[in-house]
Amino acid sequence: MQMFMRADAERARKLAEEIALWRDYQQKAWAAIETAKKKGPPPPAFLPHPDDIILDAKEGVLFIGPVDEFWQTKMEETIRYRDALIMQDALDGRSDKRLDGEPMREPGAAGLCALLLEKSIPPRLRLTDVQWVLRMMKYEGMPKRALMKELYAAWRDLGKDLPRGYVFPERTVMANNIEMIMSQVREMIAAEA
């Protein structure tokens, strides 16, 4: 019993040290960011960003954002995908047929995909509801040709060679695909348990 108590005490001590270390890091990073904001130069880029660190007395330290350059690049790519999907959703809403001439039966799933990606972005970098609406209003107010051109460039920038005027798969199709993937993931998790 004493051995377990000592092990628990040691774990608690290490956890407290780890939390203190990261709390100190957060405070210094926030101070450096505030100082830079007051002086005018762009704030320093911290990895991990202090807002992306969660300190929990029971669980320890949790990182909800990128912790190194590789993951920073991945997060920036995710944000670019989200932005392209918002544009795609605006175009899909204005399209009445697919590239093959088939009529649109329901809206495309680009907006749904953009919302899903938004949840994977650290809260400090997510769009507010107002920002989201303003973007949609901007794209809805653009001439369709200009929107198609900007969207085509966004997809090309992401390495996707989609034809100009491409319409995203319908929501039902995408929902079925997501459900199939989630079912397979559940089966894999159950098999590992």
Q: Is residue 176 scored above 90 in pLDDT?
A: no
Question: Domain boundary at 38, 63, 88, which?
Answer: 63
Q: Is residue 104 scored above 90 in pLDDT?
A: no
Could you tell me if 8 and 40 lie in one domain? yes
Could you tell me if 180 and 106 lie in one domain? yes
Could you tell me if 132 and 157 lie in one domain? yes
Could you tell me if 32 and 110 lie in one domain? no
Could you tell me if 124 and 167 lie in one domain? yes
Q: Is residue 121 scored above 90 in pLDDT?
A: yes
Nearest CA-CA partner of 94 in 144, 136, 133: 144
The chain-wide mean pLDDT, for the chain, equals 90
In this predicted structure, what is the pLDDT of residue 57? 86
Domain of residue 77 covers 69-192
In this predicted structure, what is the pLDDT of residue 178? 83
Average pLDDT of the residues in 163-176? 84
CA-CA distance, 144 to 79, in Å (whole number)?
23
Q: Is residue 174 scored above 90 in pLDDT?
A: no
Question: Domain boundary at 25, 45, 63, which?
Answer: 63
In this predicted structure, what is the pLDDT of residue 179? 87
Average pLDDT of the residues in 64-89? 95
Nearest CA-CA partner of 58 in 8, 120, 7, 6: 8
Could you tell me if 40 and 97 lie in one domain? no
Could you tell me if 34 and 113 lie in one domain? no
Could you tell me if 57 and 73 lie in one domain? no
Could you tell me if 54 and 75 lie in one domain? no
Could you tell me if 46 and 84 lie in one domain? no
What is the number of other CB atoms lying within 10 angstroms of the CB of residue 152?
Answer: 19
Q: 127 pLDDT band (50/70/90 cuts)? A: very high
Question: Domain boundary at 13, 37, 63, which?
Answer: 63
In this predicted structure, what is the pLDDT of residue 142? 95
Average pLDDT of the residues in 104-131? 91
Could you tell me if 41 and 26 lie in one domain? yes
Q: 3 pLDDT band (50/70/90 cuts)? A: confident
Could you tell me if 75 and 121 lie in one domain? yes
- The contacts found for 76-83 with CB under 8 angstroms, 24 or more apart, are 77/158, 78/117, 78/120, 78/121, 79/121, 79/125, 80/154, 80/157, 80/158, 81/117, 81/158, 82/114, 82/117, 82/118, 82/121, 83/135, 83/154
Q: Is residue 101 scored above 80 in pLDDT?
A: no
Whether the pTM exceeds 0.75: the reply is yes
Q: Is residue 128 scored above 90 in pLDDT?
A: yes
> Which of 29-38, 70-79, 172-181 is predicted with the least confidence, judged by mean pLDDT?
172-181
Counting the structural domains of the chain, the total is 2
